[in-house]
């Protein structure tokens, strides 16, 4: 794979969800390679933490139309007339609970951030990306290929992002814009910890009947997530995969990040649903409370 290691600061890359984790690591890796990064964060304290040479924090909630509009205006009025090289749609949250017990308000919040927010930012920046023949990088997940128990809302949002990425890639190819999907597996980020807290909060509100059905499963899923995160690759290594894909002259349409993601994606492609169900069930059984 061919990559560029240094560039004049004549190109801008927008990274959403850059407060922590993969987003922050990707912003720093891009800055190191000579891009000017507009790093989307939600709080002033996060802006102060990410600010660095070649990294310009911008307040950006991907569910806020005014903040998305302000970002588009900032780019169109760039004082140095820099090229918009890429948009990296990384913002995301994880909400895990069985389909039966997850309130519809939480389903909507999951999709607002992980799917509709990505579409909104993409729509706002596409005119510039088309003009500059840039690249859209959508950070999906292995959960966009394989939906584990309790991951219905999260996987649903990522499956949707995978589908819209295919449509977008085919729409924009004649216009010279590339679309790349990144599918991370276990990565050491704060998002997993926040997802576990959310899962525990939702579990505590289940009825006694629901708790009898799902409490053990929820404990197993939380324990499994903690293990995957602990053994996962660093956010910095994940960022290198993303930036290498972005700077490749002929990028693939999809990249997995981590050994676990590569295995799951291949299994989903080559074995039957029933066989995959059995493998998933056996793995979860290892984490069930005694």
Cα–chain center distance at 18: 11
Active site residue 255: no
Over residues 150-167, the pLDDT tens digits come to: 999 999 999 999 999 999
In a domain, 216, yes or no: yes
Supply φ then ψ for residue 194, to 5 degrees: -65, -35
**Enclosing domain of residue 199:** 11-285
pLDDT over 70 (residue 285): yes
Over residues 60-69, the pLDDT tens digits come to: 999 999 999 9
In a domain, 6, yes or no: no
In a domain, 81, yes or no: yes
What are the DSSP calls for 159-203, one per residue?
A: HHHHHHHHHHHHHHGGGT-EEEEEEE-SEE-HHHHHHHHHHHHHH
pLDDT over 50 (residue 4): no
Cα–Cα distance, 184 to 111 (Å, whole number) = 18
Are the beta carbons of 173 and 159 closer than 8 angstroms? no
Are the beta carbons of 124 and 66 closer than 8 angstroms? no
Q: What is the CATH number of the domain that holds 210?
A: 3.40.50.720
In a domain, 1, yes or no: no
For 32, the token pair is 């190191």
Active-site residue (options: 154, 214, 255, 287) = 154
Cα–Cα distance, 170 to 165 (Å, whole number) = 9
In a domain, 44, yes or no: yes
pTM: 0.91
* Start-end of H helices in 181-272: 190-204, 208-231, 235-247, 259-270
Max avg pLDDT among 5-9, 190-194, 201-205, 283-287: 283-287
In a domain, 157, yes or no: yes
How many domains are contained in the chain? Answer: 1
Beta bridge partners of 178: 135
In a domain, 217, yes or no: yes
pLDDT over 70 (residue 284): yes
């Amino acid at each position: 794979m061919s990559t560029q290691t240094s560039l004049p600061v004549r190109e801008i890359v927008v990274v959403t969800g850059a407060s922590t984790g993969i987003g922050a690591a990707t912003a720093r890796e891009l800055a190191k390679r000579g891009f000017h990064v507009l790093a989307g964060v939600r709080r002033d304290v996060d802006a102060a933490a990410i600010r660095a040479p070649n990294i310009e924090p911008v307040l950006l909630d991907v569910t806020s139309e005014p903040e998305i509009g302000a970002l588009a205006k900032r780019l169109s009025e760039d004082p140095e007339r820099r090229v918009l090289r890429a948009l990296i749609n990384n913002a995301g949250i994880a909400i895990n609970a069985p389909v039966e017990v997850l309130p519809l308000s939480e389903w909507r919040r999951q999709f607002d951030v992980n799917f509709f927010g990505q579409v909104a930012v993409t729509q706002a920046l596409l005119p510039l990306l088309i003009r500059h023949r840039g690249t859209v990088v959508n950070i999906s997940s292995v959960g966009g290929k394989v939906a584990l128990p309790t991951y219905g809302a999260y996987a649903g949002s990522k499956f949707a992002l995978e589908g819209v990425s295919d449509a977008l890639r085919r729409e924009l190819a004649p216009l010279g814009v590339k679309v790349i999907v990144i599918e991370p597996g276990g990565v050491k980020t704060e998002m997993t910890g926040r997802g576990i807290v959310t899962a525990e909060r939702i579990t505590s509100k289940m009825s006694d009947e629901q708790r009898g059905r799902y409490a053990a499963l929820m404990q197993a899923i939380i324990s499994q997530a903690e293990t995957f995160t602990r053994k996962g690759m660093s956010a910095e290594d994940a960022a290198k995969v993303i930036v290498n894909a972005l700077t490749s002259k002929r990028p693939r349409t999809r990249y997995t990040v981590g050994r676990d993601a590569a295995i799951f994606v291949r299994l989903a492609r080559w074995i039957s649903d029933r066989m995959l169900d059995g493998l998933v069930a056996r793995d979860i059984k290892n984490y069930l409370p005694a």
